Amino acid sequence: MKETIYLDHAATTPVKQEVLEAMLPFFTESFGNPSSIYSFAQDSKQALEEARETIAKGIGALDREIYFTGSGTEADNWAIKGVAESYRSKGNHIITSKVEHHAVLHACEYLEKNGFEVTYLDVDADGIVDLEQLKSSIKDTTILITIMFANNEIGTVQPIREIGRIAKERGVLFHTDAVQAIGHVPVDVNDLGVDLLSISGHKFYGPKGVGVLYARKTVKLKAFIHGGGQERGRRGGTENVPGIVGMAKAMELALADMEEESARQRELRDYVKERILEKVPYARLNGHPEKRLPNNVNISFRFIEGESLLIMLDMKGICASSGSACTSGSLDPSHVLLAIGLPHEIAHGSLRISLGESSTREDMDTLVEALVPIVEKLRAMSPLYEDFVKNNG
């Protein structure tokens, strides 16, 4: 079989061998329920608390500000619906942006159906939220600003510190979905002025099905999943000890060499972007040219459609994405690309590649080599390209 070139690390990452090894004992040997009082369960309890420490340290938080969840999506839902419920008496207004992940957008839409008012901030052509609009949107009833750290589709990194400052000045809580940022850019909740933050294990070589909600100790956080007394009574359910241990190990490893690895990926990113834009006409980079994740390239190719492009790349053994994986079943063009002002049919023809630790310069060359004839072939099939050539030829 031909080799697979995996360029979809924003969708998910493999679990690292070291991470898996850290997890293994907790499946079959030290499998005790951390809530049990006998000494056999001490191993799992201790592993759980060490994982909490590791993660707290990784984002500059206190141990008791870390709550384990079953996914990044759950963390987003909890942060938003939890704050909405706890601060309802203070106000019913929430501010977010048009380029959030569906976990945030759909949680906000749910709240809109339940008596909340949500402002969806515009972004500029690079995908950055409008800070002036943010400031002028805040009112007496505003209880939460939720703006993602880095965009999963176009990689744009938001001015989190500035947003944190504005939120603080105006006495509004600030949540950020940092699912795509962890392991790629430094994240320190105090430095950034973030009150709540979401993490997902499988985006940085940890396991799927486990996440974190950070909530500053001053935040009144109501339970979202009610049950036993786990997570200081705020999130019921027997803790996923192996998953949590794996996520903590993965974060530790990711942070240990983040600086070099990010620099390496950034170079590859810029290299492949340049090569593509050079070789393929009518292509444009989406997202901010510098303020972007070190591993994200998102390019629109006019006149062609994303799925066809992905299938053809797949036949060459290249895994890439067009929009986010979790909506690849969807037919709508990406809400992110529409928000940065791309017309419908151009938004349709976008390619996201997201690099990882295994990515090499060779992979980049292979991608470009494969891409050029594929785009040509698809354009030759395209009625839009035909019209364009006729009208401009």
Partner 1 sequence: MYSEKVMDHFTNPRNMGEIENADGVGTVGNAKCGDIMRIYLKVENNVIQDVRFKTFGCGAAVATSSMATELVKGKTIQQALEITNAAVAEALDGLPKAKVHCSLLAEEALHAAIWDYAQKNGIVIEGLEPPKEDIHEEEEDEDED
Ligand X SMILES: Cc1ncc(COP(=O)(O)O)c(C=O)c1O
225 belongs to the binding site for partner 1 (CB under 8 A): no
Among residues 324 and 359, whose Cβ is nearest to ligand X? 324
Cα 19 from chain centroid (whole Å) = 20
**How many Å apart are CA 187 and CA 392, to the nearest integer?**
48
x/- binding map, residues 230-259, to ligand X, per CB under 6 A? -------xx---------------------
354 belongs to the binding site for its own copies (CB under 8 A): no
Please check whether residue 65 is in contact with residue 90, taking contact to mean a CB–CB distance below 8 angstroms.
Answer: no
- Residue 288 contact, options its own copies, ligand X, partner 1, none, Cβ 5-8 Å cut-off depending on partner type: none
At its nearest, how many Å lie between ligand X and the CB of residue 201?
7
Tokens 């392991």 sit on residue:
183
Q: Which of 96, 180, 295, 298 binds ligand X (CB under 6 A)?
A: 180
Using alpha carbons, select from 97, 160, 165 the residue that is nearest to residue 127: 97
Scanning 3-11, 201-209, 240-248, 379-387 for contacts with partner 1 by CB under 8 A, the matching segment is 379-387
Long-range contacts of 259-262 (CB under 8 A, 24+ apart): 261/357, 262/184, 262/185, 262/294
Please check whether residue 114 is in contact with residue 144, taking contact to mean a CB–CB distance below 8 angstroms.
Answer: no
Q: Which of 135, 161, 232, 284 binds partner 1 (CB under 8 A)?
A: 232
The reply to whether 133 sits in an annotated binding site is no
Beta bridge partners of 214: 66, 197
Query: For 90, how many CA atoms within 13 A lie in the half-sphere containing its CB?
Result: 15
126-145 residues in contact with partner 1 (CB under 8 A) are none
The reply to whether 17 sits in an annotated binding site is no
Amino acid at 96: T
At its nearest, how many Å lie between partner 1 and the CB of residue 185?
31
98-127 residues in contact with ligand X (CB under 6 A) are 101, 103
* Size of residue set near partner 1 by CB under 8 A: 30
Which residue in 223, 326, 338, 368 is the catalytic one? 326
Question: What sign does the CA torsion over 275, 276, 282, 288 have?
Answer: negative
Active site residue 319: no
285 belongs to the binding site for its own copies (CB under 8 A): no
Among residues 190 and 330, whose Cβ is nearest to its own copies? 330
Number of helices (H), then strands (E), belonging to the chain: the values are 16, 12
207 belongs to the binding site for ligand X (CB under 6 A): no
Q: Which of 233, 281, 289, 341 binds partner 1 (CB under 8 A)?
A: 233
58-97 residues in contact with ligand X (CB under 6 A) are 71-73, 76
DSSP 281-349: SSEEE-S-SSSB-TTEEEEEETT--HHHHHHHHHHTTEE-BSS-GGGTT--SPPHHHHHTT--HHHHTT
The reply to whether 238 sits in an annotated binding site is yes
SS3 at position 174 = strand
Using alpha carbons, select from 310, 338, 326 the residue that is nearest to residue 76: 326
The reply to whether 152 sits in an annotated binding site is yes
71 belongs to the binding site for its own copies (CB under 8 A): yes
**How many Å apart are CA 226 and CA 233, to the nearest integer?**
8
323 belongs to the binding site for its own copies (CB under 8 A): no
At its nearest, how many Å lie between its own copies and the CB of residue 326?
3
From residue 232, give the alpha-carbon distance in Å to each of 44, 68, 243: 16, 11, 19
293-322 residues in contact with partner 1 (CB under 8 A) are 303-305, 307-308, 311-312, 315
Please give the residue ranges that form the binding site for ligand X (CB under 6 A). 71-73, 76, 101, 103, 148, 152, 177, 179-180, 200, 202, 211, 237-238, 326
Residues that are catalytic: 326
Chain positions contacting partner 1, by CB under 8 A: 37, 42, 217, 220, 222-223, 232-234, 303-305, 307-308, 311-312, 315, 329, 331-333, 344-345, 348, 380-384, 386
